[in-house]
Structure 1
Amino acid sequence: MTALLLVFVLIYAAAMLFILFYSVAQAHLLYRFRRYLKRGSVAAPAAPKVWPMVTVQLPLYNEKYVVERLLDAVATLDYPADKLEIQILDDSDDETSALVQQKIQQYPHLQFQHIQRPDRSGYKAGALKYGLEIAKGAYIAIFDADFIPKSYFLKRTVPYFSDAKTGMVQTRWTHLNKTYSLLTRLQAFALDAHFYIEQVGRNSLSAYINFNGTAGVWRKQTILDAGNWQDDTLTEDLDLSYRAQMKGWRFVYLPEVESPAELPPVMSALKSQQFRWTKGGAESAVKHLGNVLRSSAPLHVKYHALAHLLNSSVFVAVLLASLASIPLLWAKVHGLLPEVIFEVAAITLFSFLVISLVYFQANTQEQGSLFRRLGSFILYFPLFLSVSMGLALHNAVAVWEGWSGRKSPFIRTPKFNLEARDNKWQDNFYLNFRMPYTTWAEGLLGLLFLGVAAWSVAQQEYGLLIFHSMLAVGYLLVFYHSFQSYRKV
């Protein structure tokens, strides 16, 4: 075995071992979720005799398509009007502000505050911090612009703060436009696994979970005790979550309380969101991982925190494993590697099995016959895996920027409200992303893996054929949908 070939073997092995490490954590979370299902529902705390003051914060930046829908939904919250303060944290520089002014006139009985900062410093984190300084509420509910909170939201979440140690209550996202397109279906596929298996599993273990940036309620004292909102990462929600929990605050996750939201219907918007989430996750890992590992937290808490903070790094592992697999395949065909290497590598099939079970469990929670749910899973799961692998290059770049400390601005995900706009996304005023160089690289990678798959068939070597075929499909799908949705400038 040559030195160069040994390097490829070590890269492939390290990447697959990391994926295996992550899969073991997922398997444990799946086990805990199954225990949660068997246990059944637990009675919610009793409603307080006197409802406390709550401030609802609505951070906005140029949301003309959805802001009226948001304000109408918040106005229907079932909560005493004299105990409800609604802060519209409006950083907009377009017609959104005028729409806000018009809409709040329709609700004179509610305490709307239209707050406009002198500048956008700190982006969303800065806006939340700015509003917190003048918030009257002991509890802070937060909704992004694309959410439509249920009227019962506050009365289902606020009672959990009867426990003085509870610092945050998070609810489960559901999807307004899940069936709009293949892309929205695949996003729902991924998010349901997080909001069912991961959040429930970690919460049942008393491990660290994260506030998801919206559709949750904070105790104001918790935010302040943990150091307030900070803008040194792109995921201010994950950052504050870890600071608060390491301070000893307890988080509660409520999968039974649904909070509907819109999924990005086009690839460029999805990539913008994915870039922010993956880069911010890497930044938060750099910021917190050392403190978590040095803390006195139980071993299982540290293990799941490690998997949680490094979950975006799975894209780096997928990218490295996929590229390293090409010379390994060539070496196998030419008899340059001992067969035992590939026999040991078969252990990593455990990772695929675990991921399959996690997504099967999460995506068969919906209503309908078992046959229908199983058929849907068989149809969408391979496509989901392919597209996830096709996003590996884009997200690996984001992770690398997060690890290396390269800073970038907070790029908002454009909202569409397609249900009210005749299902047309092409005329969205905010959809003005320029196509990055990585899109062309995704197309080239798709062709590369297509060629590798064809070559392996010609050589009658089928060990990595499924892997390379899924990579080809994933990269080509991502390239095609990206090319359609970016500005050609």
Structure 2
Amino acid sequence: MLAAEPSVEVFLTLGLVILTLLSLNLLALTLIRWLMPKRALESRELAEAELPEVLVQLPLYNEGELVERILRATMALDWPIDRLQVQVLDDSTDGSLALSQRAVAAARHQGLRVELLHRTQRTAFKAGALAEGLARSAAPYVAIFDADFAPPQEFLRQTVGVLSAATDMAYVQARWDHVNRDESLLTRVQARLLDSHFRVEQEARWRLGLPVPFNGTCGLWRRAAIEDAGGWEGDTLTEDLDLSLRARLRGWRSGYLLDLKVPGVLPVSARAWRVQQFRWTKGFVQCFMKLMPRIWRSPELPIWQRLLISFQIGQPLAFVVGAACLLLGLPFMAGAAVAGETIGAVAVVASILGFAAPIIFLTSAGTGGGPRRTAAEVMGALALTSGLLLSNARGGLEALLGYRTEFVRTPKTRDSGRSARLRWSNGFIELAAGLALLGFVLWEQPFAVIYLAMLIGGLVGVGAMQVLDGVAPIRPVWLRR
């Protein structure tokens, strides 16, 4: 055995320190959620004659099965129909445009002021569709719902009241709920992860006075704030985070309504979830690269807010750093190099916090299903998120290198045919990597299997689920109903 190259030790130690800081960020948000008092949003009750015109934008892309559902929910909103304008922004290329045309015609027949906008060129993807629709309306408020969400009747009454009471507030974000939470372990894990984001992370930021990022759907924007911030831009895959932070840099505030729940549909296949997480990871890192210089130059933000926002948009870099640490750590696992005392101590701290912080964070989202169910969801979330290491690390690395890819929507159903073969190849990557890592560790350092069990199990699990998605396509329960 040889001493490790100094450069390897330095980079590995630096990577472990970064992972430790990102774990501390999760722990800090959890403590803030526990310790800081609740913060109420001021709201103004408007008389019927004062209710403003609202534009509701419904962006779709190859989601024809969902258009009728979202239009029914939109028509049920408690708002004067003469002050409600609806846009179905359908960029579909799979032939489902006909479903949108029929649904829009039926809604128009029932008195809804709705138009269908279809672009043959997806310039700037979702951001481009939203911008084009906004240019065709003069409404002072804009509500945005993805096709897989169904706003409750009171949504506009509550959110318009909030923006009417605070003229410096750009938007108000509602909380996501989950129609198909109990369909499978995968959907339960996703629900746990999203609940942690909305019930812990978003709520902590709101209580602390930090900007609460817009989540792309289930929010109401003030048109003036969109225009003042520079409008929708399609140079990142998370146009929602990009615009909300640019609005904050222009001095606009944001609001959060924890108790206003908007039910939506979770992806039912591992491949769909992987696609979604890749897009979110890459988009966050793109925003990190785009906005960090502006954030640290901004006179609008005190230093402590600049620091916490940096952790917020840089959190997905944990996948890139984690993958690098794994590669740098292989010589130590194989016994080809011996670590010094410093790197050993840092590795112990990073490992303890790397497990403890996410467990506390995820558990804080609630234990309504009982301790056994909660434990299964938390451990499942840790394992399956670990299984996204390769895919998300690639997304983060592409963003760091400036490599552009198109916006790929998150499919909510399992399709058969050609896409099934694609799932097989995608799943094989994680499956092969997990089994290869397992074989390497058993051969070189069997004791390390305990340390890497979560990662190995996650890679094998995510890979196997994608393979099963390809050979056993089904219609999800929520759609069959």
Q: Report the TM-score, using the length of structure 1 for normalisation.
A: 0.89
1:40–1:339 distance in 2 versus 1, CA, 3 Å: closer
1:478 counterpart residue number: 462
- Letter of the 1:238 counterpart: L
1:259 counterpart residue number: 262
**For 1:276 and 1:91, how far apart are their aligned partners in 2?**
18
Q: Which runs of 5+ in 2 are unaligned?
A: 473-481
User: What percentage of residue pairs aligned between the two structures are identical?
Assistant: 34
1:42–1:338 distance in 2 versus 1, CA, 3 Å: closer
1:119 aligns with 2:103: no
List per-residue Cα deviations over 1:331-352 (Å, max 9, x = no partner): 3xx8934456424432221342
**For 2:297 and 2:252, how far apart are their aligned partners in 1?**
18
What does 1:369-388 correspond to in 2, within 5 Å? 372=370, 374-388=371-385
What does 1:287-302 correspond to in 2, within 5 Å? 287-296=290-299, 297-302=301-306
1:96 counterpart residue number: 96
1:131–1:409 distance in 2 versus 1, CA, 3 Å: same
- Letter of the 2:397 counterpart: W
Q: Do the aligned residues in 2 keep the contact of 1:177 with 1:184 (CA within 8 Å)? A: yes
Match of 1:405 among 402, 405, 422: 402
Q: Do the aligned residues in 1 keep the contact of 2:426 with 2:463 (CA within 8 Å)? A: no
Shift of 1:84: 0.8
- Letter of the 1:64 counterpart: G
- Letter of the 2:24 counterpart: V
List per-residue Cα deviations over 1:273-300 (Å, max 9, x = no partner): 1121111111111100111122231122
Q: Do the aligned residues in 1 keep the contact of 2:387 with 2:458 (CA within 8 Å)? A: yes
2:450 counterpart residue number: 466
159-168 vs 113-122, which moves further: 113-122
List per-residue Cα deviations over 1:456-477 (Å, max 9, x = no partner): 775xxx4x44331111111111
1:4–1:53 distance in 2 versus 1, CA, 3 Å: same
Report the number of matched residues.
465
1:28 aligns with 2:46: no
Match of 1:308 among 308, 312, 320: 312
List per-residue Cα deviations over 1:292-344 (Å, max 9, x = no partner): 1222311221111111111111111221222333322333xx89344564244
Shift of 1:400: 0.8
List per-residue Cα deviations over 1:358-416 (Å, max 9, x = no partner): 1110143xx45xxx1x2222222222212211111111111111111111111111233
Q: Which runs of 5+ in 1 are unaligned?
A: 417-424
186-195 vs 245-254, which moves further: 186-195
Shift of 1:33: 1.1
Q: Do the aligned residues in 2 keep the contact of 1:62 with 1:92 (CA within 8 Å)? A: yes
**For 1:7 and 1:487, how far apart are their aligned partners in 2?**
46
Q: Do the aligned residues in 1 keep the contact of 2:39 with 2:206 (CA within 8 Å)? A: no
What does 1:43-442 correspond to in 2, within 5 Å? 44-49=42-47, 50-107=50-107, 108-161=110-163, 162-296=165-299, 297-331=301-335, 336-338=338-340, 341-348=343-350, 349-364=352-367, 367=368, 372=370, 374-416=371-413, 425-427=414-416, 431=419, 434-435=422-423, 439-442=427-430
What does 1:437-448 correspond to in 2, within 5 Å? 439-448=427-436
1:27–1:255 distance in 2 versus 1, CA, 3 Å: same
List per-residue Cα deviations over 1:241-277 (Å, max 9, x = no partner): 1111100100001111101111111122112111211
152-161 vs 475-484, which moves further: 475-484
- Letter of the 2:135 counterpart: E
Shift of 1:451: 2.5
1:456–1:94 distance in 2 versus 1, CA, 3 Å: closer
Q: Do the aligned residues in 1 keep the contact of 2:2 with 2:337 (CA within 8 Å)? A: no
Shift of 1:3: 6.7
1:343–1:275 distance in 2 versus 1, CA, 3 Å: closer
**For 1:443 and 1:104, how far apart are their aligned partners in 2?**
44
2:478 counterpart residue number: none
Shift of 1:176: 1.1
**For 2:390 and 2:438, how far apart are their aligned partners in 1?**
16
2:479 counterpart residue number: none
- Letter of the 1:11 counterpart: F
**For 2:457 and 2:65, how far apart are their aligned partners in 1?**
33
Shift of 1:62: 1.8
* SS of 1:325 mapped into structure 2: helix
Shift of 1:137: 1.5
Shift of 1:240: 0.7
Indicate the RMSD between aligned Cα atoms, in angstroms.
2.4
1:337–1:95 distance in 2 versus 1, CA, 3 Å: closer
1:435–1:412 distance in 2 versus 1, CA, 3 Å: same
1:139–1:455 distance in 2 versus 1, CA, 3 Å: same
List per-residue Cα deviations over 1:392-445 (Å, max 9, x = no partner): 1111111111111111111111233xxxxxxxx344x89568359764442232
* SS of 2:230 mapped into structure 1: coil
* SS of 2:261 mapped into structure 1: strand
- Letter of the 2:461 counterpart: L
1:450 counterpart residue number: 438
Shift of 1:118: 4.8
- Letter of the 1:47 counterpart: E
